Amino acid sequence: MRYVLDVPTTLADEINRLVAAGKYKTPQDFMLLGIQNQVYLETQSIESESVSAQSLRVHPKPIMGPVDADEFLSMNIDGVKTVELSELKRQDVLWGQYNRFLPVKIVVRVAANLLRRNASEYVLLSDVHEIAAATARRLGKETARNDKLLGHKRGTIISAGLPMGKEDKSASRFKYQFVGYATADKMEGAAPVLKFVDITKKEGTVLLGITDYGLKFASFSNPVIDNHDFSSPMSEEEVNFLLNHIALQVPGEARLIHFILDSVNKGRKTPEALNDNIRAEYGTVWKGKNEQATMRSGAVSRMSELGLLKREKDGVKVTYLLTERGRQYLNRLKETGAPKVEIKQWP
């Protein structure tokens, strides 16, 4: 069905600016996502009232009041029930705006602690949205202060990806980019794409469960969350787990990482050179220059967080270099054949 909508000039200019910045493919994509989000919020509030909490074994209403970040980030997650991956479609490559793994760590910790608290296989997706965003915001403010104290520069800022801007906007972005959401036929968001959580609809209510992969990732100690150590966003255990998991379970992401590592290794070391390479390789998948640049930027940010790449800056010129870990991972991906996986049209 087609709708014609008159948009005020100020809003139209803002939408066009976001499209030009690569945050959305087209104005239609922006408006469709906004409509989907609002429909989800409206139906969630109506449908959750009509569902028996006992039959679903979930908390009957969204958890209100101040969020205790210590409780929802606790490592005390033994005995949490996990769920199988559903048949609902999900991408196998992370979208460029999912630019860090630390936000995903917060999502799986919050989800695991909610599940432990409820002694259930599923919790309300809306609960995870609200609590994860509030928890990430509190941790983000603390992390940003320490980024400044430690002199972290672009590419090494640990708080990147955490919701610290205008509250409603940054919280909404965190909820849908990192926690995720589901439409009628697919799941979106970093945690679902990584197969760490599964989103389903039962008796009219949208629910989230954690998978074995997600619970395993949640169980590792994190330097920022657990030790208030802001020198690194991830522990060695977490990095090794993510690299292994991506190579085996997220083949599209493995292929993109391989492509970028191989390109840099062959001398395509600047953002512009990488954009050209991505355009040549993925031009039929990510058609616009802004989209291609967004995918490159997000992938490079995630790879830097995992210690595969480092950035060198000379004035305004940025150069990417492989680390020793990056070289080892490039060789592993060549041997396993992960780069042979074909990335499908996004989304």
Mark whether 326 and 222 lie in a shared domain: no
Cβ 320 vs Cβ 54: under 8 Å: no
Question: Could you list the mean pLDDT of each consecutive 10-residue stretch along the chain, which spans 347 residues?
Answer: 55 59 57 52 35 36 54 90 93 94 97 95 96 93 91 86 80 94 91 97 91 97 95 95 95 94 95 94 90 95 95 86 95 77 44
User: So what's the pLDDT on residue 64?
Assistant: 41
Cβ 114 vs Cβ 127: under 8 Å: yes
The answer to the question of residue 241 being in a domain is: no
The answer to the question of residue 345 being in a domain is: no
C-alpha distances out from residue 12 to 18, 29, 33, 240, 244, Å: 10, 13, 15, 44, 44
Displacement of CA 270 from its chain's centroid (Å): 24
The answer to the question of residue 243 being in a domain is: no
Domain that includes residue 327, residue range: 250-340
Mark whether 220 and 259 lie in a shared domain: no
The answer to the question of residue 40 being in a domain is: yes
What pTM did the predictor assign?
Answer: 0.79
- CA separation for the pair 331, 327 (Å, rounded): 6
User: So what's the pLDDT on residue 2?
Assistant: 53
Mark whether 72 and 208 lie in a shared domain: yes
User: So what's the pLDDT on residue 315?
Assistant: 79
User: So what's the pLDDT on residue 196?
Assistant: 98
User: So what's the pLDDT on residue 28?
Assistant: 63
Supply 126's token pair: 């809306």
User: So what's the pLDDT on residue 246?
Assistant: 95
Mark whether 109 and 188 lie in a shared domain: yes
Nearest of 168, 72, 173 to residue 123 by alpha carbon: 72
Mark whether 217 and 138 lie in a shared domain: yes
Instruction: For 134-166, give one letter per residue: b (16+ CB within 10 A) or e.
Output: bbbbbbbeebbebbeeeebeebbbbbbbbbbee
Mark whether 100 and 38 lie in a shared domain: no
Cβ 332 vs Cβ 244: under 8 Å: no
The answer to the question of residue 245 being in a domain is: no
Mark whether 121 and 143 lie in a shared domain: yes
Mark whether 98 and 68 lie in a shared domain: yes
Looking at the structure of the chain, the number of domains it has is 3
Mark whether 78 and 200 lie in a shared domain: yes
User: So what's the pLDDT on residue 273?
Assistant: 95
- CA separation for the pair 263, 269 (Å, rounded): 7
